[in-house]
Structure 1
């Protein structure tokens, strides 16, 4: 997904190189924020929120989520329904 977005930005940059650079910079910042949310500093206190983030960003499939306890699945479902 990210590589497609980068490709689209780079294909359409002629004559607007600076805007394309800014678009690329914003994309990288946004994707980096997602990675931070999903993977940085996993602890016992925030592991459920990391699982929610993984599911929310499409990294964790429904089948993978079913490998967790029913309690975890319900928590993830509740949190995603709030957003």
Structure 2
């Protein structure tokens, strides 16, 4: 494992307004691997490689962190 896949992730601002922000998290150059790793895939000689859920877990963690920061900002306002 070289870490290239982990380092390939980036954050892109799609739209920003006065009261909204739309972001996209994506793999810049390893996008072909994302669904194979997240959901698993068939092997050439038969059998399967198991899923390694990592995108969904990262999304859940980011949403939780974002919600906590919003709550803190509201409480300290």
TM-score (norm: length of structure 1): 0.31
Higher strand content, 1 or 2: 2
Higher helix content, 1 or 2: 1
TM-score (norm: length of structure 2): 0.33
**Which structure has more RCO (C-alpha within 8 Å, separation ≥ 6)?**
1
